[in-house]
Structure formats: structure tokens, C-alpha cells
Amino acid sequence: MKKLLIIGFLFLGIVEITAQKFTRRDSLQGGMRFERTCFDVLRYDLNIKINPEERTIVGYNDISFKVVENTSKIQLDLFDNMKIDSIIWNKQKLTYKRDFDAVFISFPNELKQNTSEKVRFYYSGKPKVAKNAPWDGGFVFKKDSNKNHHIAVAVQGTGASLWFPVKDSQTDEPNNGASVRVAVPNGLMNVSNGRFKGSEDLGNGFTRWDWEVINPINNYTITVNIADYVHIHDKLDDLDLDYYVLRENEEKARKHFEEDVKPMMNCFQTKFGKYPFWEDGYKLVETPYLGMEHQSAVAYGNKYKKGYMGFDLSGTGVGMFFDYITIHETGHEWFGNSITSKDIADMWIHEGFTTYSETVFIECMKGYEPAMKYINGQAKNVANDRPIIGQFGVNNEGSGDMYYKGSLLLNTLRHVVNDDEKWWKIILKYSETFKKQIIDTDMVIAFFNEETGMNLKPVFNQYLKTTKIPELTYKINGDNLTYYWTNVNEDFNMPIDFEYDKKTIRLFPTTSPQEVKLKKLKKSKSYQIYDNKFYISIKEDM
């Protein structure tokens, strides 16, 4: 979700490209040194109090982990503006060293391989406030029309350690889930991930709200949402659908979510498999910012409008029959939350597939032609400013083109496969094969190669690792058609479809000119190269 503001305004000609210089802080957050790889997180148990008036957090996180290799030191993470009160292990206070946001914790004895350990990390402070969430990380402190606090957090890319101590890497999700216990002023509610386990009046003007997640969960999707919420409950078969909305919006929310959520879930479960976090339920939670894919507690802030804040980012009008935030952020439950990239350099695995889920939803509801119109309309938002894949090990995302160009890559692959029945089986198998797993681009490519029986690596590399859009150069001379690829890597060999005389033929261009004689081509009144099925440009060689 993080890059959508920039992408959404590309059609206005606003493109921001900045040179990236990496620092030690980046390496400490993005890298996987021994102090991180020597242990595997089993569970987080977060217990905190949030004071809206002071904008403070105080509390602790119990971090349970398994020792993978003998070690006397581990790295956890907490932004350096937050205070470490103490770190306790086996009733002993541990020593630590801070290096920017990294916290290197030393144990008095070596921790042995295959043992299970737990540290309680006490902390406090004023977390960073976002200037423009969700595009920059931090807390959002606002109020509703009744002057009640409305508070939420979004930290994708910035890091979950902005507001709680954590192993801040996508490579390691807590195997046994998490609990999130948050005390807020009486009269307000906190909604977090998973199932509601109860609330307790603490007798000090605060009530603690307890939530529990059974499934592994991305660190950046662990969340808090604080407001005077009304709870709306619904079901789809035996899946719980829960909506937490501001009291003032209850009536409009009931109608609005009814229109999109069940059709969306039916579509996505048909195409991508059973909702991956069934045990934790599905929630939409109204937030004071646009949206974010918080696992089993999807942040919703589109103000009950169709499209994207009332606009269609495809520019075609097709995207105005559904609520963009509901569809896109829920798509992340399969792509991003269930299937997660090891490094944010590979975030196209989240955003490309999720953006494609919008087109999938349109095809479920409206059919193939409107879906193709929508996805090709998105092409104008592609900047081709830098490669989709970023730099690894330094907490660096690639280009925002991971959204639309990533989606257009998948649409291209669909038409390379040229068999819709086979394609949808592949997409379903992809979702199920890597369900609740952490993967990388090489694993994605290997999967699609295996399932299609094709060598698609040159195609993936072209779209993910370069800014060059394949250009099909062709020339017609009588009944002879000459064609070849330009603006591509030397090994690029993607097929293309050519239609004339009411029939379609498949061509297999390379970077070397090829010629084919097509009977009646000269007499054909029209011909078509399917650039709406393949993300390419076309050039006629005059």
C-alpha cells in the first residue's frame, strides 16, 4: 500500500525520483547478520498502555524464541527515540548496546542450540508521528466529529520497531502467532489483529483490550486502532466478517461493506484459495488514514467511497463500481500477509500480485473485456524510473512500478501461457503452495517455470530488473511479415500474438529479425498485434 500516493498521481505528471544512499542504519535494519540468524522467533506477547493525550506508549513485549545456533548475543530492534527501560531474562537484567535502531543484547551464559528462551523487553516513549500515513511510517493521532480520539499506526517499509521492540525483519514471523494487549482511556476501544479475547477495566481510567493471533504474522502488520468504535458482525459461510467503524458512520458502513466484501471473498477464494487466516477471522477497521494490509485487521480509510478516494486510478471508469481500498488491501491477505517476501527489495511479490487481484475481481464481476480495459488503463501510471526489484540487505524497496508494472507482468504471463484454464490453476496452486511462507523472486520464477513448462526467467528479468519495455519492431512487405524484439535483454524470447484475416497466429520473436510468409496478409484489410494482452510497445519499421 505504501507507494500508492505517488503512483496514483503519476497521471498528473508528478514523479519524484531521488538518489538512494545507504547507511549503517539501513544495513542494521535490512541485513541478516549472525545476531539475527542465530534465533527464530516463536511468539510475541505485547502488553502496553497508550496515552492519547501524551501520545506515549509504556509497557513490554515478551519475545519467545528458539536458539538456532549457540550464541551469547542477539539483535532486536527498537527505534532509538524510544527508551529501553530494561530487558529481563530468567529474572536477570540483561546488558545491551544500542546501534541506531538495533539493540544488541548480551546474555551471561551462552544460549544452546534448540533451546527455547524468552526475554521481556520493557520500553516507553513517544513514537514517531506520521506526516502523511501510510506513505510514511508512524502513528496518526486525530479525532472524530464527536471529538473522540481516533488513533492508528502504519509502518510498512519504515519498520515495526518504530513502536514496539521486535526482530524487525520480514525473514522471521512468530511461528506461534502473537497477543496484543492494549490499555486505552475508558470510553475508547482498541482493535488489533486476530480474535477479541476480552477487555478489563484496570481501575485507573484505562481499559485493556486483548487480542490474539494464531497464525504467523508479518511484523509490520501488527497493529493498534483506537476509537469510539461500533462493531458490526456478519458471516460468509463459517467465516466471521467483522467491521469496526466510527459510531457516526455505522449506517453507511453496513450498506457499503455489504456491497463489496462477500462478492470479493467469493471471487478471491475461487481464484486464490480459502481465506488464509480463517482461524483469526476477517476484519475491516476504520482508520484515520487511507488503508493498509494489517493481517486479519485490514485498515480502511476510503471514507465509504467507490474507487480510490472517489477516483479511478486506471482512468477508464471501470474501477468506479468497487471500493479500491477494500479490494486491494484484502488482496494482500493472500499476497503479502500469507505469501511474504524475505526482503522488501522483493516487495513486488506483495504489490504486483495484489494489484493484479483488482483485475481478477473485475473479471469475476464484469468479465474479461472490462478487466483488460482496467489493467491496460493502469499502464499509464508506470514510471519506468528504476527497476522493480530494489537492493537487498539495506531495507530498500524498488520502484513503485512494483504495483502496476508488476500487475501487467502477470497479465502478460497469462497470455504467454495462452490457456486460461491452466492459468487459473497455476495462480491457485501458487497461492496454496506458498501459503504462510516467506519466499523470494527466484522461488517465484522456479514455480512458474515448473508449472508452465517454459523458461520464463528472461521475461521476469526483463520486467523486474530493467526499466526497458520490450518493443516489437515489425515490417510488412506484401505477404511477408518481418519481426524482432528491440529494447530488451539479449536472451528475451517472449511469444506474441498476431491477428489478420480473422485468425490469430503465435509468433516467437527474438532479437534477430525473422520473416514469415502469411497467405492473404497483403489483401487483409486489418491486422492486430495484441499489445493489450502483453505489456509491450510496437514499432513499425518503415
* Residue 416 near residue 459, CB atoms below 8 Å: yes
CA angle, 37 as apex, 31 and 40 as ends, to 5°? Answer: 125
Q: What is the pLDDT of residue 342?
A: 97
| CATH architecture of structural domain 1-17+234-467 | Orthogonal Bundle (1.10)
Strand 225-227 and strand 282-286: the pairing is unpaired
Q: Which of 217, 73, 96, 102 is nearest to 165 (CA)?
A: 102
Residue 62: the pLDDT is 98
Closest CA to 226 of 194, 193, 182, 196: 182
Task: Identify the segments of the chain with pLDDT beneath 70.
Answer: 1-20, 525, 542
Between CA 290 and CA 156 the distance in angstroms is 13
pLDDT of 542: 63
d(CA 133, CA 496): 41
Predicted local distance difference test score (pLDDT) of residue 541: 85
Q: What is the pLDDT of residue 15?
A: 36
DSSP per-residue codes, 14-65: ----------HHHHHHH---HHHHTEEEEEEEEEEEEETTTTEEEEEEEEEE
Find all residues with CB under 8 Å of 410, minimum gap 6, and list them.
352, 353, 356
Q: So what's the pLDDT on residue 1? A: 55
In the chain, list all ranges with CATH 1.10.390.10: 1-17+234-467
* β-bridge pairing 189-191 and 527-529: unpaired
- For helices 420-433 and 441-452, the axis angle rounded to 10 degrees is 140
**329 three-state secondary structure:** helix
Nearest to 462 by CA among 360, 397, 537, 539: 537
pTM for the whole structure: 0.94
The pLDDT, as a whole number, for residue 20 is 65
- Given this model, what pLDDT does residue 530 score? 87
What residues does CATH 2.60.40.1730 cover in the chain? 32-227
What is the torsional sign of CA 267, 273, 276, 279? Answer: positive
CATH 2.60.40 fits 471-540, yes or no: yes
Query: Which value, in Å, is the radius of gyration of the alpha carbons in the chain?
Result: 25
Question: Which top CATH class is 32-227?
Answer: mainly beta
Contacts of 382 (CB under 8 A, 6+ apart): 10, 401, 404, 405, 408
The whole-number pLDDT of residue 140 equals 98
